[in-house]
Every structure is written in structure tokens, then in C-alpha cells.
Amino acid sequence: MKGLLFTAYSLYKKSCDSPGCGAICNTNGCMDYSVITSYAIGITCTDGYGLNDTRTFTMYVKQNDPPIYTNLDHTITLNTDIIAKGDVLFTIYYTDTENETLHYNYTYNRTVSSDLFIGDTVGDYYNNAANITAIADQWDLSNTMYAVYICGSDRRNTKCATLTIQIKDYCGIDPICSSNSTTVSDRLAVGSHLFTISVPNINALSGTLSYTIYSEKAFFTVSSSGRCSIFNI
């Protein structure tokens, strides 16, 4: 026998088609596209006469695509007259090329908001989506806004977005704010003024306005007059 011939190789990946199958890999044996994009494996076959043939099996790692939220970032409004404990306030929907389940963690811009809502820590997008549910018996904090920072992770990627929850009892006129953007130098000093919050209908409102800002990093502060500045770097 002259030697052994290799004509074809196949590599199969188990389909992720049931809840929980997209668990995050925490072992050193995980293949990481960002570190190594291909693996070369030398294979030697030897028969009973000592004849052998060596070939190389090359395996190319396909990059794991991140999930894409289909309904985040988003703002919802809760009416305190009809909301009750146990009501589902929001359901997280997304698409994912690998059909993976996401593992979620939540950050609230106010400590008390963790006593009002609870988010499911695991969810998929086809039959068991993650929900954010009301857990409060009394809604005393009306006309208040909360930001819930949601991060969902599959086996390789973490994707974050914000859900803004407005709690209202529909008494009086709501203040109107607007989004905007600005460009600043990375050499701005602590205390530098960035912008001032504008409320176009401020003259129609009763009482004194208070301002709250939130961001992923605690770099900013706001004064009682709506003046936003750099707080920390």
C-alpha cells in the first residue's frame, strides 16, 4: 500500500435551537475569533506496515455576530392609575445570526428603581423573551423618569441599550425637553460648561423644575438651573 489519501473534511457546529444553549463560554478552550482566526491541525495516518501519510486540516473560525435589539433604545410611559404589581412593562426583542440566548444584567440610574421593576436574566427571541415586570404595590413616585441600562450577552458579545421608563399620573402639563449633541475637546477641564438644558414650555409649568442626567460613565453633573458640566474624568 503506497499510502493513504484524504479527500474531504467536514466540521459541524451544534445548532442553538433551545433556550439556554447560548451559554457564555468561560473556559480556556473557547475559540476566539479576535485572537486566532484559523487553526492548523497536522494529521498522520499509519498502516500496519509502517507506511504513513501526513496532511493538514485547517479550521477557519467564523466571527460570532453580535445580537441586534429591535425595540431598544426605547421610552415607555406607565399610567399609575392602571399599572399593577406583576404587570409586564416591556419585552426585549432582538435578532441574532447564531440564534443564541442572551444573558441580561440591568443597571438603574436610581437606587429606588430596583424596588419597582425586575428584569429576566435570561431570554431568547423566539419563544421565551426576557421581560421587565412591575414589582411595586404602591406607585407613589409619579411624574418621575427612570433609565434602565440593559446589557445582553451571548457567547462572544455584549450589547447594551437603554430603556427609559416614565411614571405619570397625568396631572398637569409635562415639561418638554429635546435631544441634541455637541463636540468638545478631550482637554476640557473639570467644571467646564457643556450645555444648558432647554425647556421650551417652562412658563406653562407649575412649581420648580429639577434636573437629572444619566450616562454610562459618571463624568457629568447638572445644576439646579439645568447647567451641565464635566464632573470627573
Query: Is 141 inside a domain boundary?
Result: yes
- Residues 164 and 72 reside in one and the same domain: yes
Query: Is 81 inside a domain boundary?
Result: yes
Query: Is 184 inside a domain boundary?
Result: no
Give the pLDDT of residue 6.
47
- Residues 154 and 108 reside in one and the same domain: yes
- Residues 118 and 209 reside in one and the same domain: no
Give the pLDDT of residue 93.
96
* Cell 421587565 -> residue: 132
Nine cell digits for residue 153? 450577552
Q: Which domain covers residue 157, as residue numbers? A: 68-168
Query: Is 62 inside a domain boundary?
Result: no
CATH of the domain at 146: 2.60.40.60
Give the pLDDT of residue 1.
40
Query: Is 28 inside a domain boundary?
Result: no
Domain count, the chain: 2
Query: Is 17 inside a domain boundary?
Result: no
- Residues 133 and 205 reside in one and the same domain: no
Give the pLDDT of residue 89.
94
Buried b (16+ CB within 10 A) or exposed e, 207-219: eeeeeeebeeeee
- Residues 144 and 225 reside in one and the same domain: no
Give the pLDDT of residue 74.
93
Exposed, middle or buried: residue 199 (CB in 10 Å: 0-12, 13-18, 19+)? middle
Query: Is 101 inside a domain boundary?
Result: yes
Which regions in the chain score pLDDT beneath 70? 1-34, 111-114, 140-142, 170-172, 204, 206-207, 216, 233
Query: Is 51 inside a domain boundary?
Result: no
Exposed, middle or buried: residue 94 (CB in 10 Å: 0-12, 13-18, 19+)? buried
- Residues 130 and 222 reside in one and the same domain: no
DSSP 75: E
- Residues 162 and 207 reside in one and the same domain: no
Give the pLDDT of residue 25.
57
pLDDT tens per residue, range 99-139: 899 999 998 887 566 678 899 999 998 889 999 999 987 77
Give the pLDDT of residue 102.
94
